[in-house]
Chains A and B, each alone.
Chain A
Amino acid sequence: MSGPNKTKPGVDKALLIKDAAKLLPEPSRRFFMRGAASLGALAMLSGCEIIDGDASENVLRVISEFNDGAQALLFNPNTLAPEYPESMITRPFPFNAYYSEDDAPDVDGDKWQLEIGGRVDNKKSWTLAELNKLPQVSQITRHVCVEGWSAIGSWQGIKLSDFLKRIGADTRSKYVWFQCAEGYSTTIDMPTALHPQTQLTLQFDHQTLPRAYGFPAKIRIPTKLGFKNPKYITAMWVQNNDAGGYWENQGYNWFSGL
């Protein structure tokens, strides 16, 4: 079944694609992804085979975009992710990233500010002390990784929908984009941003969010796969264009809803 897609020994396909993607400037990458959305582009894709040698994956990305739409339809804004008792929390809760725990961003909480941008009335940046003063909510939910494993964790923070209201975000906008300290990014749909369990998280298990889990702030979304839960966030933009994301741009499904 490997056929023409057979992996070359000693070549890490994931890293290769990552490197290749870096060679493309951001606007052209976006153009490429958008172009793939139209059926007319299907004919073009065979040409891309010559460029990146993986035409099948590009055709499959068109279906993946169709699946984004199907998942948006399946998403019920009132359906809550199951919550669990404290006894079921996974300890230790796993650290997971595309780098080792030692290489995780070491953010100075005193200097850190959450930058706000896009279709928002009040674009003032927020310090950690200011965020800690806002009303907090708590959840014990299952974090499901795209790899298949899952772990139950306890997160406390600000209901994101409350925060969006507080800063005067135009919630008719289509997307919310998050930028992270290490350069990671992801974009989520507005219905998910407004979901009652979507959280601007400042604590794990009622303690200051540890470095491994995204200090000083992460976005906890129990209705999405783990990689759509950005850690070490530095900026949040409310906008109408999909700015993609670190893994999404490499071929992981954009919506990735649970």
Chain B
Amino acid sequence: MSVQTADHPAIAVRAASGVIHPAWVRVTHWINALAMLMMIGSGWQIYDASPLFGFTFPHQIALGNWLAGALLWHFAAMWLLVINGIVYVTLGIVSGRFRRKLFPIYPREVLHDLLAALRGHLSHDDLSMYNAVQKLLYLGILVTGVVIVLSGLSIWKPVQFHLLTSFFGGYNTARYVHFAAMTAIVAFLVVHVLLAVLVPKTLRAMILGR
């Protein structure tokens, strides 16, 4: 993976311009943030109609007022989430950004960087380079995004996509998978937002690009 060396032309250009996140990353990031909040909020309201566990989400933090309203939100925001997601993943692959930013990931580095992060010793000098923990989390959230969309499809269309539904262990199990993926995304979101607040220049980079 020689692409990580500084004398790679693409890196050189980026370093010269100082752009950390190109415009397409920033635009798709914030559209995704909006779509995710709508999907999670309405999803909580939908969950409350037939809870999987012994708790419900407070209506004050859920979206849509009642089941029909929440379903309207969920199945409207899904288009935003999926179309934006397809654009993001396509550009991420085609531009080489995913390969450049997320790979390779070595377990030893993950462990090292995780311990360093917990001690507060991790450097944030170069925001264009992800540490191993970031690489793993960003890759993980991409995979979770795919899981939540596919498990959602298998709940929405358990007849038309019955093979997909079977893949997730049937209709009932797919509901738990969908919920687990939501939980993982919310957990990621908590850490993600907390770290952005702790290192505010990362937030600036995602808005202004540098």
Contacts and interface: CB of A to CB of B under 8 A. Distances in A.
Interface of A: 1-2, 5-7, 13-14, 17, 54, 57, 60-61, 63-64, 67, 74-76, 79-82, 142, 144-150, 222-223, 247, 250-253, 257-258
Interface string B31-55: 0000001000100001101100000
B38 to A, nearest CB: 8
Contacts of B37: 1
Nearest to B64: A5
11 contacts: A2-B63, A13-B66, A60-B69, A67-B75, A74-B157, A79-B159, A81-B162, A82-B159, A144-B171, A222-B159, A251-B69
B59 interface: yes
Contact of A64 (B66, B76, B166): B76
Interface string B51-72: 0000000011111111111011
Main secondary structure of the interface of B (DSSP, over half): helix
B158 A142 contact: yes
Given A5-B65, A251-B69, A75 B158 contact: no
Interface string B108-138: 0000000000000000000000000000000
A57 B69 CA distance: 6
A223 B62 contact: no
Contacts of B63: 1-2, 5
Contacts, number: 95
A148 B158 contact: no
A1 B41 contact: yes
B71 A252 contact: yes
B157 to A, nearest CB: 6
Contacts of A145: 50
Contact of B76 (A60, A82, A250): A60
B73 interface: yes
Given A60-B72, A81-B159, 12 more contacts: A1-B37, A13-B66, A13-B69, A14-B66, A63-B72, A79-B159, A82-B159, A147-B49, A147-B67, A251-B69, A257-B159, A258-B157
B175 interface: yes
B100 to A, nearest CB: 35
Contact of A79 (B73, B76, B160, B175): B160
Contacts of B72: 57, 60-61, 63-64, 251, 253
Given A79-B159, A147-B49, A250 B61 contact: no
A74 B50 CA distance: 26
Contact of B160 (A64, A75, A150): A75
Interface centre among B62, B64, B66 (most CB of A within 10 A): B66
A70 to B, nearest CB: 9
A10 B37 CA distance: 27
B90 interface: no
A223 B172 CA distance: 17
A61 B63 CA distance: 15
A1 B61 contact: yes
A146 B71 CA distance: 9
A247 to B, nearest CB: 8
A147 B65 contact: no
Contacts of A13: 65-66, 69
A63 B75 CA distance: 8
Contacts of B62: 1-2
B79 to A, nearest CB: 8
Interface centre among A1, A67, A142, A252 (most CB of B within 10 A): A1
B107 to A, nearest CB: 38
Contacts of B162: 79, 81-82
A2 B60 contact: yes
Nearest to A142: B171
Nearest to B156: A258
Given A60-B73, A61-B72, A67-B75, A148 B50 contact: yes
A150 B71 CA distance: 17
B164 to A, nearest CB: 12
Interface centre among B61, B158, B159, B171 (most CB of A within 10 A): B159
